[in-house]
């Protein structure tokens, strides 16, 4: 098992989360009212970053199936939290750009489906040497 090439970076769920981290971070700093920087903006930044970090931490513990799944479940929960923050920003009209909201919502939904299927795959076919 060689982690020197950071094998988690090959995971599609990590790649999707990485793109969302950068884009949501940027959106929260440039598209929201200034007062949201430390309110809902801060919450959405932290929750999406937690998705990516928990995928990585789970991958680091992949030799232990229960640990791997536990961290992937944390990632999934943080993803649902991120969707909730996005919807709150939209509902409170802090995020007024409808196209941007729809784009993020679609990407987050796609990631949630992908992560759900990934978790199910780990549960059914866990082989830490092949991940």
Query: What is the reported pLDDT for 3?
Result: 47
Q: Which domains does the chain have, with CATH numbers?
A: 8-125 (1.20.1440.60)
Distance between CA 29 and CA 102 in Å, rounded? 18
Q: What is the pLDDT of residues 35-68, one digit of tens each?
A: 998 899 999 999 999 999 999 999 999 999 999 9
Q: What is the pLDDT of residues 76-114, one digit of tens each?
A: 999 999 999 999 999 999 999 999 999 999 999 999 999
For residue 73, with 0-12 CB atoms within 10 Å meaning exposed, 13-18 middle and 19 or more buried, which class applies?
middle
Q: What is the pLDDT of residues 7-23, one digit of tens each?
A: 999 999 999 999 999 99
């Amino acid at each position: 098992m060689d982690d020197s090439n950071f094998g988690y970076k090959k995971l599609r769920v990590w790649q999707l989360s990485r793109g969302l981290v950068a884009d949501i971070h940027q959106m929260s700093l440039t598209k929201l009212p200034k007062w949201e920087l430390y309110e809902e903006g801060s919450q959405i930044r932290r929750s999406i970053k937690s998705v990516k970090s928990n995928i990585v931490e789970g991958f680091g513990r992949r030799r232990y199936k229960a640990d791997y799944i536990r961290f992937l479940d944390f990632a999934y929960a943080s993803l649902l939290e991120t969707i909730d923050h996005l919807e709150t920003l939209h509902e409170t009209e802090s995020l007024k750009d409808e196209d941007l909201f729809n784009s993020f919502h679609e990407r987050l939904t796609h990631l949630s489906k992908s992560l759900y299927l990934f978790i199910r795959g780990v549960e059914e076919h866990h082989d830490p040497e092949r991940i």
